[in-house]
Amino acid sequence: MLQIFGNVAWIFSLMFSCVCLHAAWAQDRSYGRSMVVTDRGIVATSHFLASQAGAQVLAHGGSAMDAAIAANAVLGVTEPMMNGIGGDLFLLYWDAKNGKLYGLNASGWAPQGLTIAFLNKQGVTSMPEDGIHSVTVPGAVDGWAKAHQRFGRLAWKDLFAPAIYYAENGYAVPEIIHDFWIMGRDRLKQTSEAERVFLLRGKTPEVGEKFSNPDLGKTLRLLADKGPGEFYRGEIAHAILKTSASLGGTMHAGDLAEFSSEWVDPISIDYRGWKVYELPPNGQGMAALEMLNIMAASQPDRQGPLAAVELHKKIEAMKLAYSDLYRYNGDPRFASIPVRGLLSKEYAEQRAALIDPQKTNCAAASGTPAKSDTTYLAVVDKDGNIASLIQSVYDYFGSGVAVSGMGFLLQDRGALFVLDPKHPDALAPHKRPFHTIIPAFMERGDEHIGFGIMGGSNQPLAHAQFVSDVADYGWNIQAALSAPRFTIRDTGEPIKCTILIESRVAPEVQTQLRKQGHELVLRKEYSAFMGRGQAVLHNSKTGTNFGASDPRADGAAEPEPIPLQ
């Protein structure tokens, strides 16, 4: 009885604190920007020009999917180190009319000739991190095509006008993208074509300097006018194959022509009354869900999400979930992956019992964390349809291989294969590698949220922190995106005790975490190392939409403008 009374008292205490916080936040709050609130559509991306382009598509009668494709195409122009048509794509799409969530895996496979034996003959003992042998077939364009066929309203060719404009006429480079450009410039010097296209007189563009990519403009026009088949069987395909052959690559016409993205069933768990969805392997979404399951084994701390007790629990839950991720994840067409067992409540309770509330476990995780540079966007239209879309060329500027005369880079997603034939993620012909990029979705009653937070290994743990802020503490989506976060290093080393954390976390909390054995590396107040997120929420009862954009990026949540009379 005392236990029941204690739980009830705790619940009322938490409810009271949330009510008081919400009442005070409008005038005195801990996050810097307000949500966008409208009964029309919203496009939230990491670049304001892409958000604006998507919002304009909505204003012309486009669906959430149309706007997502248009925005993504612009991001391929304005964030070339992060994404583009040479990369892969994953999508969760909520159809408001039938209340169903759809999943799309548009990740490409390894070329038929790229095998462990082929690399071993060349003296290669681990997967290359860049160059032509790190390249897998790009899946993004086919993903756009399949999603547009199912959920689009506007003509395919009309979706690319903004991207073509910025490619041909240029755009002013913003702050954070400028910094990422500098971080990736050495990779651009691996091929003369990449250096020619993406460096201005051998240098990265300055903040505010205009950058254009007329070759990409030409490619986008081909894609718009002739359709997605042009990428896999037409002039663009021929340029990809010619580039690969010139560098000793293994890609052949069949690798491109036979590729098809795949509609898949999302995986999900129940967390504190919310249903949280991710995509199944070969992505790492199952780690976010397992982490949440482990967190659910105990009540959220009364002092809030940034208390030492709560942060310690999340960090330790992350290590346990990631150890399973790196052991089991792979392409389910080639390996048996125990997703159901990993996401069972019983298994989560077993894993949660391993957490010592007093000290950290530096040996919980195994495997090699993966790094990634990615673009995520979220769109909701006025009908309530939601596109949660993520797209990437993987590392900064992908493989460093630019397709001759076409203005885009090929991804290096093959770097995440391993050369151990017994591993679930072993390299094999027409196999998809481990993928870091994951879109997400959560719903409870009338509230439906599409969200994602980019950044390689950061993504599952950032998703779990976002979900907890919303579900455990009642924070709105902008507060949850803006809140201080922790993450892990993307160094290629096993996850141990080193945690990157933003300096907005209270000094006394940092001190307590260090006493428990966490090795904290402080970053600035808003660090892109924590990922760059976007979120939209649709309330199906009121018809109101909400949008949020992470202050760690150059983006914005842009509302659909009213039609000009």
Distance CA 251, CA 57 (A): 36
- Under 8 Å CB-to-CB from 238, ≥6 apart: which residues? none
pLDDT band at 496 (very low <50, low <70, confident <90, very high): confident
- Catalytic residue (choose from 45, 374, 375, 487): 374
Q: Which of 136-145, 198-207, 236-245, 250-259 has the lowest mean pLDDT?
A: 198-207
Average pLDDT score over the chain: 91
pLDDT tens-digit readout, 201-222: 889 999 999 999 999 999 999 9
- 261: nearest Cα among 73, 76, 431, 108: 108
| Predicted local confidence at residue 189, as pLDDT | 85
Asked whether the predicted pLDDT for residue 11 surpasses 50, the reply is no
| Predicted local confidence at residue 374, as pLDDT | 79
pLDDT above 70 as % of the chain: 92
pLDDT tens-digit readout, 44-66: 999 999 999 999 999 999 999 99
Q: At what angle do helices 140-151 and 64-78 cross, to 10 degrees?
A: 160
Find out whether 41 and 561 touch, Cβ atoms under 8 Å. no
Q: Which of 237-251, 333-347, 360-374, 532-546 has the lowest mean pLDDT?
A: 360-374
> Would you give the distance in Å from CA 363 to the centre of its chain?
27
Residue 380 is inside which H or E element, if any?
strand 373-380
- 264: nearest Cα among 90, 69, 452, 413: 90
pLDDT band at 19 (very low <50, low <70, confident <90, very high): very low
- How would DSSP label each residue in 202-266? TBPPPTT-EE--HHHHHHHHHHHHH-THHHHHSHHHHHHHHHHHHTT----HHHHHT---EEEPP
Q: Quick one: tokens of 417?
A: 């294969």
| Predicted local confidence at residue 14, as pLDDT | 44
Q: Which of 369-378, 407-416, 425-434 has the lowest mean pLDDT?
A: 369-378
Q: Which of 1-15, 82-96, 444-458 has the lowest mean pLDDT?
A: 1-15
| Predicted local confidence at residue 96, as pLDDT | 97
Q: At what angle do helices 285-295 and 345-352 cross, to 10 degrees?
A: 70
Distance CA 284, CA 244 (A): 29
Q: Quick one: tokens of 340?
A: 């159901």
Asked whether the predicted pLDDT for residue 401 surpasses 50, the reply is yes
pLDDT band at 399 (very low <50, low <70, confident <90, very high): very high
Residues of the chain by 3-state class (helix, strand, coil), percent to 5: 40, 20, 40
Domains for the chain: give ranges and CATH numbers: 42-261+373-416 (no CATH), 264-371+436-533 (1.10.246.130)
| Predicted local confidence at residue 365, as pLDDT | 45
Is 38 a residue of the active site?
A: no
Asked whether the predicted pLDDT for residue 546 surpasses 50, the reply is yes
| Predicted local confidence at residue 190, as pLDDT | 81
Name the most confidently modeled range: 103-117, 370-384, 550-564: 103-117
Backbone angles phi, psi at 414, to 5 degrees: -65, -15
Asked whether the predicted pLDDT for residue 452 surpasses 60, the reply is yes
pLDDT band at 18 (very low <50, low <70, confident <90, very high): very low
pLDDT tens-digit readout, 128-182: 999 999 999 999 999 999 999 999 999 999 999 999 999 999 999 999 999 999 9
Distance CA 289, CA 269 (A): 7
- Under 8 Å CB-to-CB from 255, ≥6 apart: which residues? 109, 111, 112, 137, 430
Extended beta strands in 69-223, E state: 88-95, 100-106, 171-172, 210-211
Find out whether 356 and 317 touch, Cβ atoms under 8 Å. no
What mean pLDDT comes out for the span 276-292?
Answer: 96
| Predicted local confidence at residue 364, as pLDDT | 61
pLDDT tens-digit readout, 113-135: 999 999 999 999 999 999 999 99
Backbone angles phi, psi at 221, to 5 degrees: -65, -40
| Predicted local confidence at residue 6, as pLDDT | 43
Find out whether 93 and 417 touch, Cβ atoms under 8 Å. no
Distance CA 112, CA 322 (A): 30
| Predicted local confidence at residue 490, as pLDDT | 67
